[in-house]
A and B are shown apart, each in its own frame.
Chain A
Amino acid sequence: MANNSSSMRTDVSKVRFLGSARNGTHHAWAMRVTSLALALLTIGFVFLVMTLVGRSYEDVVDIFGSYIWPGVVALLFTLVGCYHMKLGMQTIIEDYVHGEQTKLYLLMANTFICGLIAAAAGLAIIRLSLG
């Protein structure tokens, strides 16, 4: 892509979202959307916890296998939660870690960890639900 002659920004700074990458509001907006989703999902999640609390292994397997809603609530809460906490931890890292290299590694680690939890817990919930 040709460099805009009127821009002082390097291509790499745009790629790393430090310049105008037409993405300035995405993080803030995604935070709002996931917050609202989680606020609503928490109602279902609390209901799910109440259903599962103190249950034996057989009961838990039976609950996930017999009804569709526990799997849906658990899956949505986990996946949206992982995306939301990825965004939140990203802000914390950006605020407090000033070393450029350390910051980049931590941001990557944060993305990997959140992705790993989402995939592992998500797959576990799907497996439970499909019995």
Chain B
Amino acid sequence: MAETQQRLEDRRPLSPHLQIYRPTLTMTMSIVHRITGAALYGAFFLLAWYFIAAAAGPEAFVWASWTLTSIPGLIILFGATWALFTHLLGGLRHAIWDTGAAMDEKGREALALATAIGGVALTLLVWFAAFSLR
């Protein structure tokens, strides 16, 4: 019985997976949405660290601040900023789709492109503003 079941499972057809399809923009932005979401999970550890260090006292804060503003720290924060805005715009894209709008080919291609470009643009804008302020 168990043997028959095992063999049946082996013979079950698999649904086509990622490598079968030609990459498209909407597919890429869907994958990017999930990856940026997972990356922001990690970025939240850094955010928590900043607040905890600030509450803990001067030494802890200097240590956190020094790490986050080091070259690797800045690269990670830049990536986190891009992940934040791309994920935010991706979320807004889903909110628009939730209303039933922009689900045709033209609409979804335009939204995917807007997400990709907007994410980069907002990242550059915020970093430019941050550097001009300090």
Instruction: Report A's interface with B, CB cutoff 8 A.
Output: 32, 35-36, 38-39, 42, 46, 49-50, 53-54, 57, 60-61, 64, 74, 78, 81-82, 85, 88-89, 92, 117, 120-121, 123-125, 127-128
Contact = CB atoms under 8 A, between A and B. Distances in A.
A49 B46 CA distance: 13
The 9 lowest CB-CB distance pairs between A and B, nearest first, are A54-B134, A124-B55, A121-B48, A124-B51, A57-B61, A124-B52, A127-B55, A57-B58, A35-B91
A120 B34 CA distance: 26
A53 B133 contact: yes
A124 B41 CA distance: 19
B51 A85 contact: no
Nearest to B42: A85
Contacts of B8: none
Contacts, number: 79
Contact of A121 (B52, B57, B91, B129): B52
A107 B90 CA distance: 25
B92 interface: yes
Contacts of B95: 32, 35-36, 39
Contacts of B56: 124
A78 B48 contact: yes
B36 to A, nearest CB: 10
A17 B37 CA distance: 24
